[in-house]
Chains A and B, each alone.
Chain A
Amino acid sequence: MSLDRRQFLRRSGLGAASVSAGLLGTAGAADARAAGQGAHVPEVTLQSDGPELLNQLGGPAARLAAVPFHGLHQAGILTGPPPAACFAAFDVVAERRADLQEMLRALTDAARLLTAGGVPPALGTGAPPSDSGTLGPVIPADGLTVTVAVGHSLFDDRYGLTAQRPRHLTPMRSFPNDDLDLAQTGGDLLLQICAGSPDTAIHALRYIAKHTRGAMQIRWRLDGFIAPPRPAGAPRNHLGFKDGIANPDVQDPRIADRLLWLVDGIGEPGWATGGTYHVCRIIKTLVEFWDRVSLIEQQRMIGRYRDTGAPIGTDSETAIPDYRTDPHGRRIPLSAHIRLANPRAASTEESRIYRRGYNYDAGIDLNGNLNMGLIFNSFQQNIRRQFEATQLRLVGEPMVDYVTPVGGGYFFALPGVRDRSDWYGRGLLAAT
């Protein structure tokens, strides 16, 4: 089977000219309004407090503004997580390297168009419509980001990429408390699609799948959401606790270059500079069991108060627990999750990870219990030094009885698409 880019594009009805021009009407909702399409769409800027912002705006018309697509790094990492996400891992089934390349270019085109928003082209009476229409006649940008990461398996002998594999990109190891389901683990390529609302994220997945059809197949997928602040501060997870409070400040470029991005001179392939390792773990929370635990025990396991999110013994969620004055764990137990995960010591500073998690809710298990949990995402410069070191400190923590990692994988989020002529993985495919 041989696929070329024109074939992908013909299916969407987009010729080369319209691709370079973007969707008709080009640059997003503003242009759509100028073209007289649809009602007024309030524009807000996506910031790190996305969910809070959306909450303030309220109402279904609220839309997030477009997130710039081009840059040294991909969007969807430093940009604060909007409320909805869709995670989809794919197996690439394209037979030849050239097919892989065309697929990546088609994926780039689709992501570039969708993240900008606009009016999809009319294909007339001779073809099915170019877009599903689930977002209406004008596709809103709605804070959409499409973050593409590749798995270890893409670097096998199929496409001649073996020598270019990022040094720490391995299959995800099984940790002692894991119960990994192979059907939900691994994959050649992971898409993290985030947006202001679930329909925007799912629309993007559907569009991308249509335009890459034949070259890759979805291996597993899971939708996520971030709850609005209850009542304020960091969002809560299914355990009822505020989560994601203690992230390193990766908006500071010095910290990001130390903890997040691959930089030159750390022994990684040159093409990978500007990318980052993406660890994605599907962590089931056994909520029925958790709900049968007393509040005191819950708080001792986490290390925070459930109501305020403050570390035990302090009065605000952003307070920094001082473990030096609590060496025996009288205030915050030595085995508390926050203490093991981030001991706040100089020796563990280099193992800090930047988390960007989403809750998921996916039906029921065989025993009738709710199947829900956390789509854990961490981005880091070095999987072993950061994610694995952190995870190994957590082995055997009391919370393991209530959570079970069941899937996910290690991936490498590609460097950003620089400009209109660039595409996902160009550096990788040029390097070999």
Chain B
Amino acid sequence: MATLVVSVAPAVAAAPERITFGNVTCAPSWTPPNPGRDTFLVVNQSTRTATVYLFRADSGRIVSTLTDLKSGSSRRVTVMLSSGPYAWGCDLQGYPRHVSEADKVGNHRQVGGTGPVVVPILVGELVGPLDAYRQYAAAKIGTLVTQVATLQSAVSGSDLGSAESDWLTAHETWLELGQDDGAYGAFGELGRQIDGTAAGLVGGASSPQFTGFHKVELDLWTRDDFADARTNVAQLASLVGSLARLRLSAVLPTTKLGLSNWTLRCHEVLEDALRDSLTGEDDYGSHTDLDSITADVSVTRYLLGLLAPLLNPRAPHLVGAARRQLTYLDDVIAATPDDGVAIAALPQITRERIDAATDAVLETLAPVPDLLRIGTS
């Protein structure tokens, strides 16, 4: 559901800057970072053992000292920098001390102040929850493969009633994975192929790049075309087969970036639902957007449960409030009498209640990625 996943990685984690020393050079053209915590990789390219300092160029205060850095070796140093001029100094055994040029750490001071600061969490604290999620995802993918096979046989038998109901079952399972196809979905281009809409594709719904669930939906509900549906459901089965062959540890890595992207799912699943399902933009005829939301609520609740032990100490009321709001959203949808109706055809007050319930839980969930910001160890 939604816009394309694309090839550029959304947030590239920057490598620590290399600070190099030679027999005569000292941190040539080093770049000071922004104020705050930062890590440098100090590399001794000289022929001697070195002692390296990072100091304030205005006051001379030494911020960090690395002693006994052997020739050819490197070491990481993490420091807390405020705004102001800094420089590196280096003592090589048998050489006079040499000093880098001073450069300034930016002096931006946020208007109104930064407000309270949350303690960052460590990579290790998220490994357990992610591992549990991988097992959950593996089980869902297994179910999905079976359900798509069932859909395929209903389509082969030209049994429209069964095909439509099998499509819905399999689509809900896919959504319960919680990786639909927002730009941060773990399955990247494969996720788009499985459940992307035709938005952004040249030629729209007739583009050969439009594949997967929504293509089959179009065949079954709108075009009533079993011949095309057979081709497209076979392609869906093949895509889901590729999904089952993915190594989840590779697409859901326990790196800082991988973990950050994964915790985003806790709120982005419903953000995608608001954008794509509650506008009806991903409805290719089945009018099952409310079923989609129910599946989205289910995986959001699951992710929230995994993250609750980390969220509770940082925001004691968040998880409880979000759970109540998710239940309310479920109740509002369950009370909607118009099953199988397009979102646009729902009575306005019904749509407003569903929108309001979704908006409310999204506001509650918005701080989750900030609360779970991963620090540098």
Contacts and interface: CB of A to CB of B under 8 A. Distances in A.
B212 interface: no
Given A176-B200, A312-B34, A396 B8 contact: yes
Contact of A333 (B14, B31, B275, B279): B14
A217 to B, nearest CB: 24
B278 interface: yes
B369 interface: yes
Interface in A164-197: 173-179
B84 interface: no
Interface string B2-16: 011011111110110
A292 interface: yes
B191 to A, nearest CB: 14
B4 A326 contact: no
A369 B274 contact: yes
Contact of A307 (B34, B106, B111, B199): B111
B278 A366 contact: yes
B107 A178 contact: no
A313 B106 contact: yes
A286 B183 CA distance: 15
Interface stretch (B221-229, B307-315, B358-366): B358-366
B333 to A, nearest CB: 14
Contacts of A333: 11-12, 14
Interface stretch (A8-16, A65-73, A397-405, A414-422): A397-405
A300 B359 CA distance: 25
Contact of A400 (B108, B112, B183, B362): B183
B279 A366 contact: yes
B355 interface: yes
A288 B370 contact: no
A286 to B, nearest CB: 6
Nearest to B281: A179
Nearest to A332: B34
Contacts of A313: 33-34, 106, 108
Interface residues of B, number: 51
Contact of A398 (B38, B183, B202): B183
B303 to A, nearest CB: 16
Contacts of A401: 3, 182-184
A297 B268 CA distance: 15
A395 interface: yes
B315 to A, nearest CB: 14
Contacts of B183: 396, 398, 400-401
Contacts of A369: 274
B106 A315 contact: yes
Interface string A302-345: 00010110101111000000000110111101110000000000
Contact of B275 (A286, A330, A397, A398): A286
A330 B31 contact: yes
Contacts of B356: 368
A294 interface: yes
Interface in B341-369: 343-344, 351-352, 355-356, 359, 362-363, 366-367, 369
A334 B4 CA distance: 20
B271 interface: yes
B34 A179 contact: no
A365 interface: yes
B377 interface: no
Given A325-B29, A326-B31, A368-B355, A396 B7 contact: yes
Nearest to A314: B106
B267 interface: yes
Interface residues of A, number: 46
A288 B107 contact: no
Contacts of B3: 176-177, 179, 400-401, 404
Q: Which interface residue of A173, A310, A400 has the most chain B CB atoms within 10 A?
A: A400
Nearest to A286: B275
Contact of A179 (B110, B200, B267, B280): B200
A174 B201 contact: yes
Nearest to A406: B199
Interface in B323-337: none
A56 interface: no
A176 B106 contact: no
B131 interface: no
Most buried by A among B38, B183, B356: B183
B352 A174 contact: no
A313 B367 CA distance: 25
A368 B357 CA distance: 12
A404 B12 CA distance: 23
Contact of A294 (B6, B34, B351, B369): B369
Contacts of A310: 108
A342 B95 CA distance: 44
Interface string B21-35: 000000001010110
Contacts of B279: 365-367
A315 B107 contact: yes
Contacts of B107: 315
B91 interface: no
B274 A179 contact: no
Contact of B17 (A177, A286, A288, A330): A330
Nearest to B110: A307
B10 A335 contact: yes
B189 to A, nearest CB: 11
Contact of A330 (B4, B14, B200): B14
B8 A335 contact: yes
Contacts of A325: 29, 31
Interface string B95-109: 000000000001110
B14 A176 contact: no
Nearest to B280: A366
A288 B359 contact: yes
Nearest to A400: B183
A354 B14 CA distance: 31
B33 A331 contact: yes
Contacts of A297: 369-370
A257 to B, nearest CB: 33
A67 to B, nearest CB: 36
25 contacts: A173-B202, A174-B201, A179-B281, A286-B275, A289-B271, A289-B275, A292-B271, A295-B110, A297-B369, A300-B11, A305-B108, A305-B110, A307-B110, A307-B111, A308-B108, A314-B106, A328-B14, A330-B17, A330-B38, A366-B278, A366-B279, A368-B351, A396-B8, A396-B10, A401-B184
Given A308-B108, A329-B12, A396-B6, 18 more contacts: A176-B6, A179-B199, A179-B281, A288-B274, A293-B366, A294-B370, A300-B11, A307-B110, A313-B108, A315-B106, A330-B34, A331-B33, A335-B12, A366-B280, A366-B343, A367-B279, A368-B355, A395-B7
Interface of A: 173-179, 286, 288-289, 292-297, 300, 305, 307-308, 310, 312-315, 325-326, 328-331, 333-335, 365-369, 395-398, 400-401, 404
Task: Give 6 nearest A-B pairs by CB, closest first.
Answer: A396-B6, A396-B8, A292-B366, A179-B199, A367-B278, A313-B106
